[in-house]
Amino acid sequence: MESQPLLRIHNTLSGQKEEFAPVQPGRASIYTCGPTVYRNAHIGNLRSYLAADWLRRTLTAFGYTVSHVKNITDVGHMRQEMLERGQDKVLAAALAEGKTPQEIAEFYTKAFHDDERKLNIEPAHEFPKATENVEQMVEFVRSLESKGYAYEVEGNVYFDVNKFEGYGKLSGQLAKGLEEGARVEADPLKRDQRDFTLWKAAEPGRELKWKSPWGDGFPGWHIECSAMVLRYLGDEIDFHTGGVDNIFPHHEDEIAQSEGVLGKRHVRTWLHGQHLLVDGLKMAKSTRNTYLVSDLERRGFDPLAFRYLCATAHYRTRLNFTLRSIKAAQKGLSRLRLALRSGNGRLTKKAQREGEALRTEFWNAAADDLDIPSALAIAWRTARSRWPLEVKRDLLLDFDRLLGLDLLKTDAVPDVSSEIRTILSDRDTLRRKRSYVDADAARSTICDKGYEVRDGSKGSRALPLPAWVSDDSISSSGDVESFLEEPERVDLTVSVVAQQGCAELERCISSVRRWLGDTKSEIIVVDNGFDDDCVSFVDEVAANDTRVTVFHADHFLGSAAARNVSLRQARGRNILVIDTSVEVKGDIFSTLDAALADKTVGIVGRWGVVTNDLRSFDEADASGDVDAVEGYLMAFRREMLREVGLLDEKYRFYRHLDLDFSFAIRNRGYRSVIDVDLPVQRHDHVDWVSTPEEERERLSKRNFYRFLHKWGERKDLIASRQ
Ligand code: AMP
Ligand code: ZN
């Protein structure tokens, strides 16, 4: 690069963009908090590593010699909060899988490297393992102890937070620190609950342990990074990176440790990447919204489409991942690559000059706190330009050093069948004859067969559409049209959401169909993206029964969102929501219809609950008014949705969702009633049975508080009080 722009990077410590001034002229050092290898890295973790990669590529492009170190948190180590409780995730995973901790760590380390390679993340120059640096950690703790920053109690060593003056300067979260300390069960051995563990004594029978001056034990997580930064990059480094959740306590504690030992600043710039959300929520196993690179590949995406998606948002802003957004990214990437295969225009001085102006703009964007979205936009301007191919390619090749999108890669184009080729050439003839209507008809025939038609100067081509484009599955409830304002077409809409378990689904749908009789009705089935393959069953039912419509979600949408798909599409005067655990044993439909003819009734079902305090709910055992109708079976007039709205999609797990809906209806002044004589049978609720207990509790609790927050003060809505 001729004249280098000023490189400015945001420093979490100062809260400002700062001009980069390297510790050593011409060199730059980066330490990245690496993976904990007892599980796969999810795409959120990878977004953080991409931010570090963009930093590194920028520094390299600006001529710095970069040393990049990324640690591997392996056997014997654990998250601090787990450690405080004496639990070890690597160990636990090993036990659960019947493997040795080393085997587990090795397996996931390899998987991690594979993922990084697929995303074109340049490998760090060193990947030090925690287990290979325990001696350095012990030395580090000894040093802290001798300087008065640490104290030992019964073989445990703690960092004395009150001794370090600058504690809290990175996160500014002193108060939160106190809270965090209190949240973990109070440790009676600590002088201050904010003190954190540097070394933990091994409990009897523990296999993974190391010798130390304080007896056998193992190191804490924060000390791991402090010791390795020092060993591999020296006593002052340029950048330390991680995700925002690393700021507190991990990096705050690292500063305390490192500056405690060194007596001076250790890290110049702290760079933190904002989180990746999935479907608008924090990624968590229990929310069923974590994705791995392999999940993307399985769906036919190029892993670099994820890199492209990350390039569309600045690293300090949140990015929402949805299947829709990755589809768009995949399209964007393919189109960008394609645009680089064509160029027109002659090589003129003007084109060259304009090209160079864009080059400058591109690198200016990179230099401005890694503004990759702007850089990507400039790559697009280049691709769309009318410059000759050689100018475009020269620029894009240069840009790809930063973007890392393999822009000059030619996407593989599989063979097109002879049948398609014939239709295509017929279509070309039609076009030449200006029979555009017929030509368009030919195009749709080709598209129906799963191809995209591209017209070019040398004739047309048909490109097979990847699975993700041609499939018509839905990614959110908004993907289906809302018929709420449309007139009714039938008397009843039955809404079924396929949960886990095809047998249950089959039993439920068959029983509904058997007893519907000649009720003017429709059945809307939403396949909520579960892995078990009920797809063929519901498709078959839909093919043989015109009353049945099926929607396939391309992933688990959440309980409320899936239900909303059917509610948006419903065209019945009344709507019956039924859970797949319920089997219909007689004509329930006319009874429900009659109940809803009473306009004081807002919602009717078979099972209901009553409450005194809106916190605990008891199952009601007699017909009549209840506080809420349970979601196993509930019916209401469709027009009710116009009053209370659809279900609250924040409820991804089903619990309390039904109560929330009933209360919304009661809030409009209607009654909730049940009829215990309805001929229905409730079987095991698969969703409940198949959710592990610990997870159930977490999910239930979350929904419980969501409900409480909304309705907790509304005792006036309790039926028995009216
Ligand atoms: P871990 O393996 O949990 O130590 O996480 C590895 C890195 O990923 C850390 O730098 C975290 O801050 C980061 N990280 C965790 N979750 C997310 C997320 N949802 N989005 C972006 N980065 C994340
Ligand atoms: Zn770390």
pLDDT digits (tens, 9 = 90+) for 105-163: 899 999 999 999 999 999 999 999 999 999 999 999 999 999 999 999 999 999 999 99
Q: What is the CATH number of domain 278-412?
A: 1.10.730.10
51 lines ligand 1 (CB under 6 A): no
Q: Ligand 2 centroid vs 224 CA: distance in angstroms?
A: 7
Q: Can you tell me the mean pLDDT for 320-347?
A: 84
285 lines ligand 1 (CB under 6 A): no
Residue ranges with CB less than 5 Å from ion ligand 2: 33, 225
For ligand 1, atom 17, name the residue with the nearest CA: 44
| Those residues with Cβ within 8 angstroms of residue 669's Cβ, 6 or more apart along the chain or in another chain | none
275 lines ligand 1 (CB under 6 A): yes
Look at residue 121 in the predicted model and tell me its pLDDT: 98
Look at residue 503 in the predicted model and tell me its pLDDT: 85
Q: Ligand 1 centroid vs 633 CA: distance in angstroms?
A: 41
Q: pLDDT tens-digit profile of 552-583?
A: 887 888 899 999 999 999 999 999 999 999 99
Q: pLDDT tens-digit profile of 583-610?
A: 999 999 999 999 999 999 999 999 999 9
Ligand nearest to the CA of 282: 1
| Those residues with Cβ within 8 angstroms of residue 328's Cβ, 6 or more apart along the chain or in another chain | 309
Q: Ligand 1 centroid vs 76 CA: distance in angstroms?
A: 20
Look at residue 531 in the predicted model and tell me its pLDDT: 58
Q: Ligand 1 centroid vs 79 CA: distance in angstroms?
A: 12
Q: Ligand 2 centroid vs 241 CA: distance in angstroms?
A: 9
Name the pTM for this structure. Answer: 0.75
Q: Can you tell me the mean pLDDT for 21-33?
A: 97
Q: pLDDT tens-digit profile of 497-506?
A: 987 778 889 9
71 lines ligand 1 (CB under 6 A): no
**Ligand 1, closest atom to CA 34?**
6
Residue 304, burial from CB neighbour count under 10 angstroms (0-12, 13-18, 19+): buried
The Cα 310–Cα 332 span in angstroms is 12
**How far lies 669's CA from each of 194, 484, 643, 664, 666, in Å?**
50, 21, 11, 9, 5
Q: Can you tell me the mean pLDDT for 348-377?
A: 95
For ligand 1, atom 1, name the residue with the nearest CA: 35
Q: Ligand 2 centroid vs 33 CA: distance in angstroms?
A: 4
Ligand nearest to the CA of 33: 2
**Ligand 1, closest atom to CA 48?**
22
Give the three-state DSSP class for 40: coil
Q: Ligand 2 centroid vs 35 CA: distance in angstroms?
A: 9
Look at residue 652 in the predicted model and tell me its pLDDT: 86
545 lines ligand 1 (CB under 6 A): no
Q: Can you tell me the mean pLDDT for 511-516?
A: 95
Which tokens sit at 405?
């999108």
Distance, CA of 563 to chain centre: 21
Look at residue 465 in the predicted model and tell me its pLDDT: 64
Look at residue 700 in the predicted model and tell me its pLDDT: 87
Look at residue 88 in the predicted model and tell me its pLDDT: 57
Give the three-state DSSP class for 313: coil
- Indicate if the pLDDT at residue 474 is higher than 90: no
Assess contact for 53 and 122: CB atoms under 8 A. Answer: yes
Q: Ligand 2 centroid vs 119 CA: distance in angstroms?
A: 22
What are the domain boundaries of the chain?
278-412, 418-470, 477-721
Q: pLDDT tens-digit profile of 159-202?
A: 999 999 999 999 987 544 444 444 456 788 999 988 999 999 98
The Cα 651–Cα 660 span in angstroms is 10
Between 565 and 428, the more confident residue is 565
| Of the candidate ranges 150-159, 226-235, 684-693, the one whose mean pLDDT is the lowest | 684-693
Q: What mean pLDDT, rounded, does the chain reach?
A: 89
Between 12 and 443, the more confident residue is 12
E-strand ranges in 89-247 read 150-153, 156-159, 196-201, 217-219, 237-243
Distance, CA of 636 to chain centre: 34
Closest to 296 measured CA to CA, from 318, 269, 276, 326: 326
Distance, CA of 171 to chain centre: 25
Look at residue 183 in the predicted model and tell me its pLDDT: 46
| Those residues with Cβ within 8 angstroms of residue 588's Cβ, 6 or more apart along the chain or in another chain | 515, 606, 633, 678, 679, 680
**Ligand 1, closest atom to CA 73?**
4
Q: Can you tell me the mean pLDDT for 439-460?
A: 77
**Ligand 1, closest atom to CA 45?**
8
Which tokens sit at 585?
């044993």
Look at residue 721 in the predicted model and tell me its pLDDT: 64
Which tokens sit at 393?
């390619």
The Cα 104–Cα 640 span in angstroms is 53
Q: Ligand 2 centroid vs 554 CA: distance in angstroms?
A: 35
Look at residue 467 in the predicted model and tell me its pLDDT: 55
Closest to 245 measured CA to CA, from 274, 224, 220: 274
Give the CA angle between residues 260, 262, 266 to the nearest 5°: 95
Token pair 């930064």 is at which residue? 229
- Indicate if the pLDDT at residue 280 is higher than 70: yes
Ligand nearest to the CA of 267: 2
Testing ligand 1's pocket by substitution, the residue of 40, 45, 221 carrying the most ligand atoms inside 8 A of its CB is: 45
Q: What is the CATH number of domain 477-721?
A: 3.90.550.10
The Cα 272–Cα 251 span in angstroms is 10
Q: Can you tell me the mean pLDDT for 390-395?
A: 90
572 lines ligand 1 (CB under 6 A): no
Look at residue 176 in the predicted model and tell me its pLDDT: 45
Look at residue 576 in the predicted model and tell me its pLDDT: 98
Look at residue 705 in the predicted model and tell me its pLDDT: 93
Q: Can you tell me the mean pLDDT for 369-391?
A: 91
The runs of H, that is alpha helices, within 458-499 are 467-470
Measured from the Cβ of residue 12, the count of other Cβ atoms closer than 10 Å reads: 21
Closest to 566 measured CA to CA, from 536, 527, 531: 527
Q: pLDDT tens-digit profile of 239-259?
A: 999 999 999 999 999 999 999
